[in-house]
Structure 1
Amino acid sequence: MEFPAASALRGRVPWSGLLLAVFLLTFWIPPTAARFAIVSTSAVEGQDVILRLRNTPPNVTRFIWYKGIEMKYHNFIGSRAWNHSEYLTGPEYSGREEINLEGSLIIRNVTVREQGVYIVVAVLSKSPSVRGFGWLRVYRPLNMPTLLASNTTVTENEDAVVMTCHTDKLHQLVIQCYESAAEGEDEAIP
């Protein structure tokens, strides 16, 4: 025996039921919020860097910055209250860091020592605090190599030339020179 209303609705979906389902799904499933984070940044040693914040929540009362993966006092850089000028510094503060009113961390004359993970905590007025993570990469500048020749005027198959390449000690540079041994063949010079 069949439910009496089932025969009348066979093969069709009642619009009111479908609309109710869409309505409930829309309001019962909260949208995924954009995650609060530090925009990961790359810089060359000696530049000024701004570690900007992405998706900063509303009603922030304080920003707290840490260097490293732990929110411990020995990693504490500084803290800035948003609504007044209270500014605290910690052991990781070198005098070159500044937290601006948007909560971003400015590091002046960045060094390789500052490379790594950073954590920022946004303290909210009426909600739990939120944390954001980001990475700072710092590269050393590359110096242009200098190539010196022992002799610039040579006669083919009679004179020798010694090529010397000077670079900074941090980076290795490999140079290979080739001499034509015969038609169509190249031979590496040791």
Structure 2
Amino acid sequence: MDLSRPRGSLWREFFLVASLLACGIRQASGQIFITQILGIKGYSTILAVDNVPEDVQEYSWYRGANDSAGNMIISYKLPSTQQPGPMYTGRERVNREGDLVIRPTALNDTGNYTVRVVASNETHRATGWLEVVELGSNPSLSVNATSLVENMDSVAANCHTNATNITWYVNYGPISGSDRMRISPDGKTLVILRIRRSERTLQCAIESFPDIFQRSEVISLTVSYGPDYVLLRSNPYAFNGIMKAEIGSQVEMECVAYSLPALKYHWIHNGSLLNISDATMNLSSLAWEQMGSYRCIVENPVTQLTFYEDIRIQAPRILSVVHREFSILEPTVVLLIVWIVAAGVYLCGVLIHALINRYSNRTNRAT
């Protein structure tokens, strides 16, 4: 990250005040001055010039306390012309505000720098001292274990540094303390309880300077999990654990489960263990003795979790249709006709008798 400061920022004001106090310089009103006093080896440094007039035509930067031609690093003539000088190293440029940018900064960049600002009516000069420092060693990181089981194991990480402003990163993102992620009061120890499969990397960092972070190496975690569940897929399709398949047809069965590390597979047919260790079983030509129940067992050797799923292969039912002829013998037909006629005569007689009785009763009542 660049050690650069936006104009008007708090750190810029801090460096400015420190520079003035250290050098015993009192800048008069209307006089330009350089505000940068500190650079970091390997990072970008900006020597900022402030209090410049509005009608600037050219900025020229020099190595040393004077603006002699032999000391010139680079000049910038508005609107966009840059001209390198004898002290140019290929790492310097001037931005639109006239600041000198050194990228990356080296230890031997320490020293005086002079800027000459040419305006329409006059020329301004200012000199400032740049101190380039080297960052200390990066923090190191250690953990008690890198192979863990999800929701069972915990991991403890230690950031080895003398600094106190430590930031912890999980999956490259900064984290803060919580009920499950606990950071020690000195910030040097992180404990993650009941590790999750999504928590794959750990790292710590220290902020040596504002916005300058020194990071430790990244430690990768292997979190074993599962199997979450087991699904037994088949062709032909099985409904409610029953597969209908004809003798001689092709049958495929596959166990599907999510897990880390890879699962071990076992197949059982009608209570007998089969010599199959793959996730799939293929019966190219189904035989009668291959009918029956199958069980797929998945086993995670690290989490020690085991699940299974059952399926049953049955032959489809064949519905037979029986055609029967209905026939009646001729004597039987004659008998039926006689019986029907007799029954009709009898019913007619009963009806006539009932009508006669009813009529007689009415006549007797009338007399």
Query: Shorter-chain TM-score: which interval?
Result: 0.5 to 0.7
Measured after TM superposition, the shift of residue 144 of structure 1 is 6.5
- Whole-angstrom distance in 1 between the partners of 2:71 and 2:129: 15
Instruction: Give the partner amino acid of 1:89.
Output: P
Please tell me whether residue 63 in structure 1 is matched to residue 34 in structure 2: no
2:137 corresponds to 1:143: yes
Structure showing greater radius of gyration is 2
Q: Following TM superposition, where does structure 1 have runs of at least 4 consecutive aligned residues deviating by more than 6 angstroms?
A: none
Q: Residue 70 of structure 2: SS of its match in structure 1?
A: helix
What's the TM-score once normalised by structure 1's chain length?
0.55
Does the residue aligned with 2:58 lie in a helix, a strand or coil? strand
TM-aligned CA deviation for residue 85 of structure 1: 2.1
Q: Which amino acid aligns with 2:50?
A: R
Structure 2 unmatched runs, 5+: 1-27, 141-367
In structure 2, how many angstroms separate the alpha carbons of the residues matched to 1:145 and 1:123?
A: 47
Partner of 2:95: 100
Structure-1 residue corresponding to 2:84:
89
Counterparts of 2:68 and 2:31, CA distance in 1: 23
Distance between the aligned counterparts of 2:115 and 2:31, measured in 1?
13
Mapped to 1, the partners of 2:109 and 2:87 lie a distance apart of 10
Aligned to 1:35: 31
Instruction: Provide the C-alpha distance between the structure 2 equivalents of 1:52 and 1:64, rounded to a whole number of angstroms.
Output: 13
**1:138-177 pair list within 5 angstroms:** 138-143=132-137
Aligned: 1:52 with 2:64: no
Q: 2:60·2:116 contact (CA, 8 Å) conserved in 1?
A: yes
The structure, 1 or 2, with the larger RCO (C-alpha pairs under 8 Å, 6+ apart) is: 1
2:69 matched residue in structure 1: 73
Contact between 2:46 and 2:99, CA under 8 Å: does it hold in 1? Answer: yes
Query: C-alpha separation between the residues in 2 aligned to 1:103 and 1:144?
Result: 34
Task: After TM superposition, give the deviation of residue 91 of structure 1 in Å.
Answer: 1.3
Number of residues of Structure 1 aligned to a counterpart in Structure 2: 113
Deviation of 1:52 after TM superposition, in Å, equals 0.8
Alignment deviations for residues 141-174 of structure 1 (CA, whole Å, 9 cap, x no partner): 223699xxxxxxxxxxxxxxxxxxxxxxxxxxxx
Partners of 2:89 and 2:45 lie apart in 1 by 14
- Give percent identity, aligned residues only: 33
Verify: 1:129 aligned to 2:136, yes or no: no
CA shift for structure 1 position 40: 2.7
The letter of the residue matching 1:121 is R
Q: Partner of 1:109 in structure 2? A: 104
What's the Cα RMSD here? 1.8
Give TM-score scaled by structure 2 length.
Answer: 0.29
SS of residue in 1 equivalent to 2:60? strand
Gaps of 5+ in 1: 1-31, 147-190
Q: Matched residues in 1 for 2:90 and 2:33: separation?
A: 24
CA deviation vs aligned residue, 1:76-123 (integer Å, no higher than 9, x gap)? 1011112x3221101111111010111000000100111111110110
The Cα offsets for residues 50-85 of structure 1, whole Å up to 9 and x where unpaired, read as: 111111112000001001012222211011112x32
